[in-house]
Amino acid sequence: MKKTITLMSLLVILVCGIVAVQYAYREIPVTYDGSDTNVMDLYNNPTQYDVSDPDGVADIIVKENLEKTMAANNVAAVVFDFRGFDTLGESFILLTAIAGSFVILSIHKKKKEEEGGAAE
């Protein structure tokens, strides 16, 4: 019974994920697809790309980010200053999941040892 419930739960999660990705692909507009950007050219010669008029959120990041945060670069500013609490929460969830997995696996291992030791 437990295996059936687990399998059904995983299937529901999988279907929800597929539906969410399809919705995002159809409904959420793409502001920049990067189709005309060659990464090596951008790295070697960044002046050939026009970055004078970024749109939307990129405008805020490019024009105001470094002044507000005093970070070394825009990536560090977004990840550690603007999304710092979110990143901290994600790290906490990851560590909790790892600790929970170790606890569950150690309990399972102890039960197997007890069952094996009692049968002998």
The reply to whether 105 falls in a domain is yes
The reply to whether 41 falls in a domain is no
Q: What pLDDT is recorded for position 12? A: 93
Give residues with Cβ within 8 angstroms of 87, minimum separation 6. Answer: 79, 80
Give residues with Cβ within 8 angstroms of 24, minimum separation 6. Answer: none
Q: What pLDDT is recorded for position 67? A: 74
Range of the domain at 13: 1-30
In tens, the pLDDT along 62-119 reads 667 777 777 777 777 777 766 777 778 888 999 999 999 999 988 878 887 777 755 4
In tens, the pLDDT along 7-59 reads 899 999 999 999 988 888 887 766 555 566 666 776 787 677 666 665 666 66
Domain count across the chain: 2
Does an H or E element contain 62, and which? helix 57-69
The reply to whether 20 falls in a domain is yes
Token pair of 46 as six digits: 């960044």
pTM score, two decimals? 0.33
